[in-house]
């Protein structure tokens, strides 16, 4: 009788997914990751642009240049989505709001103290 691949010597079918040693791991512990400075709004310069590239023809307003922690960006995103009345997401250091809301986002972010410029057409 042949042993199945992955079966242990006792005959049980326990999976062998335990990592014993990994020199080049893709997962980094939280202690080794770089911290992101949470700068005040007056020290940040943001870019607002409207794009359709890679989204199946859907218009998205992109705000980039944030230097905040992910938790701070999530609360800011919630406020911006409520102001625009649409959905959105945070991807890395950019905020994406569904639809063409560039002018609305410019005024809302300027009222909060950010230095904001319109980019693109």
Look at residue 10 and tell me if it is in a domain: no
- Whether 81 is covered by a domain: the verdict is yes
Assigned domain for 110 exists: yes
Q: What pLDDT, in 10s, does the model give residues 12-68?
A: 566 666 767 767 766 656 555 556 678 888 888 999 999 998 888 899 999 999 998
Q: How many helices (H) and strands (E) does the chain have?
A: 2, 5
Tally the domains of the chain.
1
Residue 72 belongs to what domain range? 41-118
Evaluate whether residue 58 is within a structural domain: yes
Q: Judge whether 65 lies within some domain.
A: yes
Residue length of the chain: 121
pTM of the full predicted structure?
0.68
Which pLDDT band holds residue 121 (cuts at 50, 70, 90)? low
Query: Is the pLDDT assigned to residue 81 strictly greater than 60?
Result: yes
Residue 5 counted as domain residue? no
Nearest-angstrom CA–CA distance, 19 and 42: 46
96 falls within a domain: yes
Element (H, E) at 90: strand 88-91
Left (φ > 0), alpha (ψ -120 to 50) or beta: where does 77 sit? alpha
Is there a domain that residue 30 lies in?
no
pLDDT for residue 20 = 74
């Amino acid at each position: 009788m042949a042993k199945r691949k992955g079966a242990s010597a006792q005959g049980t079918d326990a999976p062998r997914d335990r990592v014993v040693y990994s020199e080049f791991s893709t997962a980094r512990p939280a202690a080794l990751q770089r911290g992101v400075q949470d700068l005040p709004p007056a020290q940040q310069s943001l870019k607002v642009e409207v794009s359709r590239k890679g989204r199946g023809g859907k218009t998205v307003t992109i705000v980039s240049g944030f230097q905040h922690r992910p938790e701070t960006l999530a609360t800011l995103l919630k406020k911006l989505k409520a102001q625009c009345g649409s959905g959105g997401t945070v991807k890395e250091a950019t905020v994406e709001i569904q639809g063409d809301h560039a002018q609305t986002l410019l005024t809302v972010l300027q009222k909060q103290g950010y230095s904001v410029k319109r980019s693109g057409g």
